[in-house]
């Protein structure tokens, strides 16, 4: 299924992403990229703090690839954008009325800010991850890219 979404989204990677959390400006995002995490991990994304229940919109046009609960991310949504880049939205409090396979735009609400998964003891926020494959033999690889330099105010 992923190759179909990748083909439909097109070859060109997005050069800019629209701030996915309503009423948050890019300047308000503290850079959490690469910060230490449990188990010797490094933070592969940006945490965007906002009140619980704040709408989260897609940062790019694309296709909704996965909706599901994960151990670390809690309630998550993954969107495939141009060039096969995966955008991972984690710690949602709830999903919006979306379904896997749906085309999304920057106006599409994916879910709402929360603190599910391993964020249950933290203030509500969106974890935004951005992933590509560095291996041409494995288009589904998960090599992290810092999304902050791509974010623009909504």
For residues 127 and 49, what is the distance between their CA atoms, to the nearest angstrom? 9
- Do 54 and 48 contact (CB within 8 A), yes or no? no
For residues 45 and 31, what is the distance between their CA atoms, to the nearest angstrom? 9
- Do 84 and 41 contact (CB within 8 A), yes or no? no
pTM for the whole structure: 0.92
- Please provide the size of the chain in residues: 154
Q: Dump pLDDT digits (tens) for 89-109.
A: 999 999 999 999 999 999 999
Q: Dump pLDDT digits (tens) for 69-85.
A: 999 999 999 999 998 89
- Do 48 and 88 contact (CB within 8 A), yes or no? no
Write out the two tokens for 39: 């188990």
């Amino acid at each position: 299924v992923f190759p179909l979404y990748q083909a439909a989204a097109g070859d060109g990677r997005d050069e800019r992403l629209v701030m996915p959390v309503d009423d948050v400006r890019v300047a308000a995002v503290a850079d959490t990229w690469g910060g230490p995490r449990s188990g010797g991990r490094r933070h592969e994304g940006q945490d965007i703090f906002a009140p619980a229940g704040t709408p989260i919109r897609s940062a790019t046009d694309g296709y909704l690839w996965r909706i599901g609960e994960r151990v670390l991310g809690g309630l998550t949504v993954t969107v495939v954008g141009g060039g096969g880049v995966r955008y991972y939205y984690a710690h949602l409090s709830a999903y919006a009325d979306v379904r896997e396979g749906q085309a999304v735009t920057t106006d599409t609400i994916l879910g709402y800010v929360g603190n599910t998964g391993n964020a249950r003891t933290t203030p509500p926020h969106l974890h935004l991850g951005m992933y590509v494959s560095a291996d041409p033999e494995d288009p589904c690889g998960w090599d992290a890219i810092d999304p902050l330099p791509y974010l623009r105010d909504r």
